[in-house]
Amino acid sequence: MADPEPGVNAMTQFRLLGPIELETATHLVELGTRKQQTVLAALLMDAGVPVPIEKLIDRVWGEAAPATARSAVHSYITRLRRALSQANIVDGDTLAVQYRPAGYVLCAHRDQVDLHRFRRLLDQARSTRGDDLRKAWLLRDALSLWRGQPLTGLSGEWVESVRREVAQQRLGAVLDLAPIEMKTGGGNAMIEQLQVLLDEHRLVEPLIAALVRALADAGRNAEALECYAEARQRLATELGIDPSPELQQAYQSALRADTDRQRPAPAPPKAVKTDLVAPAQLPSDIRGFTGRHTELARLDAIATQASDQSTAVVITALSGTAGVGKTALAVHWAHRVVGRFPDGQLYVNLRGFAPQGSAMSPDEALGGFLHALAVPAARLPVDLDARTALYRSLLAGRRVLVILDNARDAEQIRPLLPGAPGCLALITSRNRLTGLVAAEGALPLSLDVPSPQEARQLLTRRLGGERVTAEPGAVDEIITRCARLPLALAIVAARAAEHPAFPLATFAGELREERSRLDALSAGDDTTAVRAVLSWSYRTLTPAAARLFRLLGQVTGPDISMAAAASLAGLAVPAVRGLLAELSAASLVTEYRPGRFVCHDLLRAYSAELTRRDDDLTREAAVRRLFDHYLHTAHAAAVLLNPHRNHVEVAAAAPQVTLGEVPDRDRAMCWFTAEHHNLLAAVQRAGDTGCDVHAWKLAWNMAEFLQWRGHWSDRASVQLAALAATRRLGDRPGQVKVLRGLGTTYAQLGRFDEALTYLREALELVAERDDDSRANIHMGLALALETKGDYRAALEHGFQALSFFQAAQYTTGQANALNMIGWCHSRLGDHADALAVGERSLALQRRIGSAYGQACTLDSIGYAHHHLGRLDRAADCYRQALALFRELGERSMQAAILTHLGETHAAAGDHDEARDCWRSALTIMEQLDSADAVALKERIEQLGTKTGI
């Protein structure tokens, strides 16, 4: 990524070239509604310059500005000031929105705004003469700032004008970079960028010519010639012109190259198309990092090898004992070389040695990487092999740095390795990973403890040169008794920094005493000294903080929130906040995001040992309180996500349990997102420790979130754990619910035989008088069969579901069953029956107030009207459905409705309206990376020759 100008706070950054964001050193600041974000963007566009309020109103609303626009701007700016104050607190910045006679001004350096930095780098590149390497470096840095569509999610005429302007600037930058990359052997890296841009600028001949040359330069002559032929046809059809001389010259060059190749190799498959996203997942650099010069030089040499490699990805395995500083070295070095990897940096903590077996699976890690590479949840492949293939396709032709931190073994790593040259994978592990070295040719780099001089530098950085120089003997003893292990040295330094008046000899002496006391804990390895340091630091805590530290060893997931910690300890949040601050000051926990805390693996293992020794009787109650926190907060959040779902009852939470704050639907979704991995671990741990009610009910409440986010494998795994729990409990009603959930999950995964098996087992177990459960099972069977395409069988189960829902007097179920019946009628060609049933469903959906149900039913009714030839009424239904889905923020369904509405307009002969609808749908599909985008694009191109659908 591009470095800011000197003097600019690199920690606080505004981002407009993608989703609008404000990032501090520790977190992203919440920026409020889309209108509020538009106000921020309007101010950032002229950062440091007053913007008149009339200009702000015009940018935000255009001609449709409401009468209350002026007061709304005042309100948005008040909220933005609160948001900016968060960044100031974290990074010590002076960001502010000030009022001046000429208007509002956002006081920030323009280089803290990615768009202004992008433009500065372009200006510098274009003023560079005779130095292609520097020019290419500047252009790569500029392009690396792009993370997707500028101002993602915002709308309006001004927003569109900004997008058009910066898109042209990006196009120019890529066209400037392409010939340099091809001259220096980097043509492969340009091909995907050019292909992505060609989708947006289909008639720009210099872009087409650059792609033809890049393909030919890479030996992909057949693709180059095909690209030219397609472009020539487009130019003739849409503009009525022949290719320009520049494009014809590129074609002739490709043609000659193709002729000269006696045995042309088959062209490699085209890379998967996606928005050009450069993920930036690196954790913050280590402040005060020192030493490791030999290792840094070795890594620099390996990075150079990655740039020159033409046959395979370069893999480096960085191994060493716990606490030796592997992660610190990897992250520090990665920040030094981000410029060598302009296509992004991926990072994941694989938790390979986390206590209680909570290591991250390759499937889970790939899901995070694919999300960072802009693959929408709905497009995530289900199985590991398919995820690996998609991941490697997305990295093909790119220069990406992949850091796999804290890996357990080679099997955990292999699916996460890129497959193409240009990328570099840096792995840290306590194991040497010899299998990876032997099979994948990984370059091993063993990290030992730092030298005594480097250890002294570490203490000097943290305590100051004067204090270290004043007591050389004490410093030497501290270094020796900490075994030069950076983790231990950091803990001692933190304690010494808290007491600047204490001589360092005091800490050396205490270390000497604790080491002799803890001989019984020695395991004959490098962790012995660490235990001594941890024990000494632990014994300085107040009794309440020491108790909390011991209980943190029972945390099931990778981190813990303030409310969860309060529940674990059985304390109020204000009390636990102070205790966590005490632990943080002692370097025993880290607040890596506001309100969220992590422990180093050694610290968690040590605290777990202490709990087994000192808190064996209270440990079980603490863990149950933690499970109660997760279950009851998940239940409240699930009800907010879908109030019409058939929710399970949960018993009252234990005393002293604090629930998470989920006051509305958005906060509920944010809570689930933050706690995702903790909840997965809690389900497993609850089942393993006899808390089976918590296990299955927590899995049930997670189901809706996991489905909406596309975490299919997670949803299946927690439901399988839930099924085992209900069977151990002998809970037949619970088994029925879980079996039904498993059936619908496996149907959505396309595993229909398993889906039907689970659903039929549920039907066998359900009580004869339980009409509600029987109805839901038949709805599950209908859904599975409809997804499979067996509409006749699905219709039969839909009727049975309706009958049971009527007997149970469950209106929501009746409405959904009627919609299923109507849809199946339409798919079977019975549109009149479908319409009659759909109208009944819609009346019920409106009575219960289900916006989602109304929108789905209106879509079904519109489909029936369309096929009955009632095109005006179909269009009206689709517009109503579209408005509801927009209100709900359900984007994939918006694209589906726009596609249906376009079909109706096309059938009516209104091709302009059809084209507008389909283009709007295509925009959404491309943003979601939908597989339907290609087919819709072809329909738009062919629309001019059609007379109907």
CATH code, 122? 1.10.10.10
Given a cut of 60, whether residue 282 has pLDDT beyond it is yes
Task: Measure the CA–CA gap between 816 and 812, rounded to whole angstroms.
Answer: 6
Is residue 545 assigned to a domain? no
Looking at the structure, do residues 252 and 167 belong to the same domain, yes or no?
Answer: yes
Beta strand 103-107 with 96-100 is antiparallel
Residue 472 neighbours by CB distance under 10 Å:
11
pLDDT score at 268 = 35
pLDDT score at 275 = 45
Tell me the pLDDT band of 188, cut-offs 50, 70 and 90: low
What single letter denotes the amino acid at residue 14? F
Task: Measure the CA–CA gap between 383 and 393, rounded to whole angstroms.
Answer: 16
pLDDT score at 454 = 84
Q: Are the CB atoms for 490 and 584 separated by under 8 Å?
A: no
Is residue 931 assigned to a domain? no
Q: What is the DSSP string of 434-461?
A: HHHHHHH--EEEE--PPPHHHHHHHHHH
DSSP 589: S
Please state the rounded mean pLDDT for residues 409-429: 86
Q: Calculate the average pLDDT of the chain.
A: 81
State whether the Cα torsion 308-309-315-319 is positive or negative: negative
Tell me the pLDDT band of 816, cut-offs 50, 70 and 90: very high
Looking at the structure, do residues 313 and 425 belong to the same domain, yes or no?
Answer: yes
Q: Last residue of some domain: 507, 523, 539?
A: 539
Compare 835 and 204 and report the one with higher pLDDT: 835
Question: Of 435, 375, 93, 238, which Cα lies nearest the Cα of 941?
Answer: 238
For residue range 309-354, list pLDDT tens digits in order. Answer: 544 567 778 877 667 788 888 988 888 888 788 888 999 988 886 6
Given a cut of 50, whether residue 518 has pLDDT beyond it is no
Does an H or E element contain 41, and which?
Answer: helix 34-44
Kindly provide the b/e burial profile for residues 760-779, where b requires at least 16 CB atoms within 10 angstroms of the residue's own CB.
ebbbeebeeebbbbbbbbbb
Compare 229 and 859 and report the one with higher pLDDT: 859
Tell me the pLDDT band of 710, cut-offs 50, 70 and 90: low
Please state the rounded mean pLDDT for residues 528-538: 60
Q: How many residues does the chain have?
A: 949
Compare 839 and 771 and report the one with higher pLDDT: 839
For residue range 832-883, list pLDDT tens digits in order. Answer: 999 999 999 999 999 998 888 999 999 999 999 999 999 999 999 999 999 8
Looking at the structure, do residues 437 and 308 belong to the same domain, yes or no?
Answer: yes
Does an H or E element contain 815, and which?
Answer: helix 811-827
Q: What residue numbers bound the domain in which 532 lies?
A: 452-539
pLDDT score at 876 = 94
Name the strands in the sheet holding 314-319, side by side, starting at the edge strand that comes first in the sequence.
345-349, 401-407, 424-429, 314-319, 443-446
What is the CB-side half-sphere exposure of residue 366 using CA atoms within 13 A? 29
Q: Provide φ and ψ at 596, rounded to 5°.
A: -130, 135
Q: Is 263 helix (H, G, I), strand (E, B) or coil?
A: coil
State whether the Cα torsion 256-260-266-270 is positive or negative: negative
Q: Under the phi-then-psi rule, with left for phi > 0, alpha for psi from -120 to 50, and beta for the rest, what region is 433?
A: left
Q: Are the CB atoms for 404 and 282 separated by under 8 Å?
A: no
Task: Measure the CA–CA gap between 5 and 117, rounded to whole angstroms.
Answer: 9
What is the CB-side half-sphere exposure of residue 750 using CA atoms within 13 A? 3
Looking at the structure, do residues 60 and 94 belong to the same domain, yes or no?
Answer: yes
Among all chains, which residue has been given the structure tokens 């360092």?
A: 504
Q: Last residue of some domain: 111, 129, 147?
A: 129
Q: Provide φ and ψ at 185, rounded to 5°.
A: 85, 15
Angle at 921 between CA 919 and CA 926, to 5 degrees: 90
Task: Measure the CA–CA gap between 204 and 195, rounded to whole angstroms.
Answer: 12
Kindly provide the b/e burial profile for residues 140-150, where b requires at least 16 CB atoms within 10 angstroms of the residue's own CB.
bbbbbbbbbbb
- Please, which residues have CB within 8 angstroms of residue 479's CB and are 6 or more apart in sequence? 452, 455, 456, 459, 489
As to burial, measured by CB atoms within 10 angstroms (0-12 exposed, 13-18 middle, 19+ buried), residue 316 is buried
Is residue 69 assigned to a domain? yes
Is residue 749 assigned to a domain? no
Rg (CA), the chain: 30
Percent of the residues in the chain that have a pLDDT greater than 90, as a whole number = 25
Tell me the pLDDT band of 421, cut-offs 50, 70 and 90: confident
Is residue 477 assigned to a domain? yes
The model carries a pTM of: 0.52
- Please, which residues have CB within 8 angstroms of residue 365's CB and are 6 or more apart in sequence? 348, 350, 404, 416
For residue range 129-175, list pLDDT tens digits in order. Answer: 777 778 887 888 888 888 888 988 888 888 888 888 888 888 888 88
Q: Are the CB atoms for 349 and 406 separated by under 8 Å?
A: yes
Token pair of 875 as six digits: 């269009």
As to burial, measured by CB atoms within 10 angstroms (0-12 exposed, 13-18 middle, 19+ buried), residue 175 is middle
Q: Quick one: how many helices (H) and strands (E) in the chain?
A: 41, 12
CA 563, 567, 572, 575: dihedral to nearest 10 degrees?
-80
Going from the C-alpha of 402 to that of each of 315, 345, 425, 608, 653, the distances in angstroms are: 9, 6, 5, 32, 43
Beta strand 13-15 with 21-23 is antiparallel
Domain count, the chain: 4
Is residue 177 assigned to a domain? yes
Q: Are the CB atoms for 815 and 844 separated by under 8 Å?
A: yes
Looking at the structure, do residues 29 and 93 belong to the same domain, yes or no?
Answer: yes
Looking at the structure, do residues 225 and 165 belong to the same domain, yes or no?
Answer: yes
For residue range 654-693, list pLDDT tens digits in order. Answer: 889 999 999 888 889 889 989 999 999 999 999 999 999 9
For residue range 76-108, list pLDDT tens digits in order. Answer: 888 888 888 766 655 455 678 888 878 888 888
Token pair of 866 as six digits: 């369309």
Looking at the structure, do residues 96 and 165 belong to the same domain, yes or no?
Answer: no
pLDDT score at 569 = 94
User: What is the CATH classification number for the domain harbouring 318?
Assistant: 3.40.50.300
Percent of the residues in the chain that have a pLDDT greater than 70, as a whole number = 86
pLDDT score at 62 = 85
Angle at 911 between CA 908 and CA 912, to 5 degrees: 130
pLDDT score at 593 = 79
Question: Of 416, 227, 240, which Cα lies nearest the Cα of 317?
Answer: 416
Looking at the structure, do residues 338 and 438 belong to the same domain, yes or no?
Answer: yes
Looking at the structure, do residues 120 and 143 belong to the same domain, yes or no?
Answer: no
Going from the C-alpha of 794 to that of each of 66, 84, 788, the distances in angstroms are: 49, 54, 9
Looking at the structure, do residues 112 and 25 belong to the same domain, yes or no?
Answer: yes
Going from the C-alpha of 506 to that of each of 462, 491, 500, 509, 681, the distances in angstroms are: 17, 15, 11, 5, 42
For residue range 302-316, list pLDDT tens digits in order. Answer: 777 655 554 456 777
State whether the Cα torsion 17-23-27-30 is positive or negative: negative
Q: Last residue of some domain: 63, 94, 129?
A: 129
Task: Measure the CA–CA gap between 340 and 877, rounded to whole angstroms.
Answer: 53
pLDDT score at 728 = 95
Please state the rounded mean pLDDT for residues 490-507: 84
Is residue 812 assigned to a domain? no
Question: Of 907, 904, 881, 903, which Cα lies nearest the Cα of 894?
Answer: 881
Beta strand 590-593 with 13-15 is unpaired
pLDDT score at 730 = 94
Residue 436 neighbours by CB distance under 10 Å:
24
Tell me the pLDDT band of 272, cut-offs 50, 70 and 90: very low
User: What is the CATH classification number for the domain harbouring 168?
Assistant: 1.25.40.10
Tell me the pLDDT band of 254, cut-offs 50, 70 and 90: confident
Please state the rounded mean pLDDT for residues 726-738: 93
Tell me the pLDDT band of 719, cut-offs 50, 70 and 90: very high
pLDDT score at 205 = 80
Task: Measure the CA–CA gap between 287 and 270, rounded to whole angstroms.
Answer: 42
Q: Are the CB atoms for 875 and 905 separated by under 8 Å?
A: yes
Given a cut of 90, whether residue 6 has pLDDT beyond it is no
Token pair of 184 as six digits: 């220096």
Is residue 461 assigned to a domain? yes
Task: Measure the CA–CA gap between 364 and 383, rounded to whole angstroms.
Answer: 11
Q: Are the CB atoms for 418 and 425 separated by under 8 Å?
A: yes
Please state the rounded mean pLDDT for residues 466-487: 84
Looking at the structure, do residues 423 and 500 belong to the same domain, yes or no?
Answer: no
pLDDT score at 696 = 95
pLDDT score at 759 = 92
Tell me the pLDDT band of 718, cut-offs 50, 70 and 90: very high
pLDDT score at 935 = 81
pLDDT score at 87 = 66
pLDDT score at 574 = 93
Looking at the structure, do residues 92 and 106 belong to the same domain, yes or no?
Answer: yes
Strands (E), 59-217: 96-100, 103-107
